[in-house]
Amino acid sequence: MAVLRFTRDHEWIRQEGDTALVGITDYAQSQLGDVVYVELPPIGRRVARGDQLAVVESAKAASEIYAPVAGEVVAVNEALAGDPARVNADPGGEGWFVELRAGDPKEIEGLMDEAAYKALIAEQH
């Protein structure tokens, strides 16, 4: 069963077996506006929790995407190079950024669940 968690920086991470997909939330993409470019990390990069993982450029601004947990990048969403708008169209699905092998899968469980994340967004409005 996939475990879905969220960060205060509006990234999501979905653990599926021994790896996890990382993307940004629908709220984050709506704040960015139309995504025009995505810079992804090289496969094999090791990241600590909070490290810059990717960069997203939109019509409004450039924003960093941070690693929700420590781990190693095992795959990147190559489709975003030719179609960065996937981030806007399907941020929780086809718009994912990287696949990580988490150093400590328990770190994922320590992030916010969906109810806590929705409460965070409500608090920010």
| Predicted TM-score of the model (pTM) | 0.95
pLDDT in tens, the chain (125 residues): 678 999 999 999 999 888 999 999 999 999 999 999 999 999 999 999 999 999 999 988 899 999 999 999 999 999 999 999 999 999 999 999 999 999 898 899 999 999 999 999 999 87
* Strand partners for 24: 11
Q: Which two tokens stand for residue 85?
A: 């708008």
3-state secondary structure labels for all residues of 48-88: CCCCEEEEEEECCCEEEEECCCCEEEEEECCHHHHCCCHHH
Domains for the chain: give ranges and CATH numbers: 3-123 (2.40.50.100)
Q: Which two tokens stand for residue 76?
A: 């990147």
Burial class of residue 28 in the structure, from the number of CB atoms within 10 Å of its CB (0-12 exposed, 13-18 middle, 19+ buried): buried
